[in-house]
Chains A and B, each alone.
Chain A
């Protein structure tokens, strides 16, 4: 498959970024100062992620609400205009098609943000279930998406807009102007910090990028790659599709019961998920800290009292804790906070303790 280049790809290369194929897109994994440095920039001030590889879809028309309510597990009726909702799409058997953000633009108009690697799959899934009187537009190639994250994100962006950002609550958005360009300004993110995600037309990419860096200069703003994006989201135990969740996992066992509204009107996967909830999941996605300098990486086996009881789905070094942390599925009886487990790395076993997520909490 050909790797796609996006509006800012050359800019990242010019900054000396290491580029990788992520979900079919050539994206920066880190810039010159490295992942730990970038991680700390976001935790202490402000950083900018180009995540334009994410997909976007607009559904509108008479049956748009019913459609989104049917294909997602969260309750869309709870959304007011200008609100964002974290949700997931499931198969009939409860397995996860993708996790996504649902933006309510108007009564019957929604903007859906999906994972880069799942764009084709998601779009064909949605189209399969599309009722009459819903207009469906794949606008993924029209938008540049910059995530500006960190305690100084608001101060940085406020310099570039007349929209009063302090009035935008967490998981709300407005349509406004950034550096003179029409943009969706959304108080969301994947880092555990305050921050915004800005969606705007690709042709303005360079200009908005430059203005952001000019505005953030006094705060030491830096570009951040996918490497730090991963370590930042892991410290929050935010799920990554393809690692922690996929078609073989369901939202109830994956700790996404809070977005799975089984009592709303019928939706795809509801029956299967009701059954999982009634029978209690056999395994759970837990957060743990490893007592070792070795990192328990994805697919590392997890044991309890010498018996294999699960597998690591994401593992990394946590710069905020200066410890190795992990997320993994374990048999439910071993999912309680404080449970001592072992992980097998190389020929050795190391202790790991189940902890209450998140690993990191911001102090402002």
Chain B
């Protein structure tokens, strides 16, 4: 069974986001990393880049396939997890912790209502 922490919000594209004040830390879910398998590269956005909710902002290369990363919210990239450049497999081993991907400064707080709760996300992946 996939781990789906209660204190996070989710998207249907299998990203998670943790909101603290005006900033959200985002990554991909345990379910997503499990489906992707061994991750060998993450293409990260540059700091200062503006991303739009639902639009791609990077790519993840896993052994089996490449997939896009979708921004869970709109805003400005204020930090990227540089550790992933050398050890992308951190996303596999700790998707909600050391394997976080970006921090986004929110530009539209009302978008938060579009995110899924842990329960809703759990229902989504179990269907």
| Chain A residues close to B by CB (< 8 Å) | 18, 29-30, 34-37, 227, 231, 293-295, 297, 316-317, 346
Q: Is the CB of A346 within 8 A of B40?
A: no
Residues of chain B lying within 8 A (CB to CB) of residue A30:
37
Check A295/B92 contact, CB under 8 A, given A35-B64, A317-B61, A317-B63: no
Residues of chain B lying within 8 A (CB to CB) of residue A227:
37, 63-64
Chain A, residue nearest B68 (CB): A346
Residues of chain B lying within 8 A (CB to CB) of residue A316:
63
Q: Is the CB of B37 within 8 A of A294?
A: no
Check A294/B64 contact, CB under 8 A, given A34-B92, A35-B38, A36-B38: no
Instruction: Please tell me which one of the listed residues A29, A37, A231, A297 contacts residue B66 in the complex, with CB atoms under 8 A apart.
Output: A297
B residues 19-60 in Cβ contact with A at 8 Å = 37-38, 40-41, 43, 59
Residues of chain A lying within 8 A (CB to CB) of residue B64:
29, 35, 227
CA distance A61 to B92 in the complex (A): 55
3 tightest Cβ-Cβ pairs between the two chains A and B: A293-B41, A317-B40, A36-B38
Residues of chain B lying within 8 A (CB to CB) of residue A317:
40, 61, 63
Tell me, rounded to whole Å, the shortest Cβ–Cβ distance linking A187 to chain B: 28
| Chain B residues close to A by CB (< 8 Å) | 37-38, 40-41, 43, 59, 61, 63-66, 92
Assuming A34-B37, A36-B63, A227-B64, what are 19 further A-B pairs, CB within 8 angstroms? A29-B64, A34-B38, A35-B38, A36-B40, A37-B38, A227-B37, A231-B63, A293-B41, A293-B43, A293-B61, A294-B43, A294-B59, A294-B66, A295-B61, A295-B66, A297-B66, A316-B63, A317-B63, A346-B59
Tell me, rounded to whole Å, the shortest Cβ–Cβ distance linking B94 to chain A: 15
Q: Is the CB of B61 within 8 A of A294?
A: yes
Residues of chain B lying within 8 A (CB to CB) of residue A346:
59
Tell me, rounded to whole Å, the shortest Cβ–Cβ distance linking A284 to chain B: 26
CA distance A297 to B67 in the complex (A): 12
Tell me, rounded to whole Å, the shortest Cβ–Cβ distance linking B68 to chain A: 10
Residues of chain B lying within 8 A (CB to CB) of residue A29:
64
Tell me, rounded to whole Å, the shortest Cβ–Cβ distance linking B80 to chain A: 15
Residues of chain B lying within 8 A (CB to CB) of residue A35:
37-38, 63-64
Chain A, residue nearest B63 (CB): A35
Tell me, rounded to whole Å, the shortest Cβ–Cβ distance linking B93 to chain A: 10
CA distance A231 to B64 in the complex (A): 10
CA distance A297 to B64 in the complex (A): 9
Tell me, rounded to whole Å, the shortest Cβ–Cβ distance linking B56 to chain A: 10
Tell me, rounded to whole Å, the shortest Cβ–Cβ distance linking B122 to chain A: 20
Residues of chain B lying within 8 A (CB to CB) of residue A37:
38
Chain B, residue nearest A18 (CB): B37
Residues of chain B lying within 8 A (CB to CB) of residue A297:
65-66
CA distance A326 to B56 in the complex (A): 26
Residues of chain A lying within 8 A (CB to CB) of residue B41:
293-295
Tell me, rounded to whole Å, the shortest Cβ–Cβ distance linking B43 to chain A: 7
Residues of chain A lying within 8 A (CB to CB) of residue B59:
294, 346
Tell me, rounded to whole Å, the shortest Cβ–Cβ distance linking B81 to chain A: 15
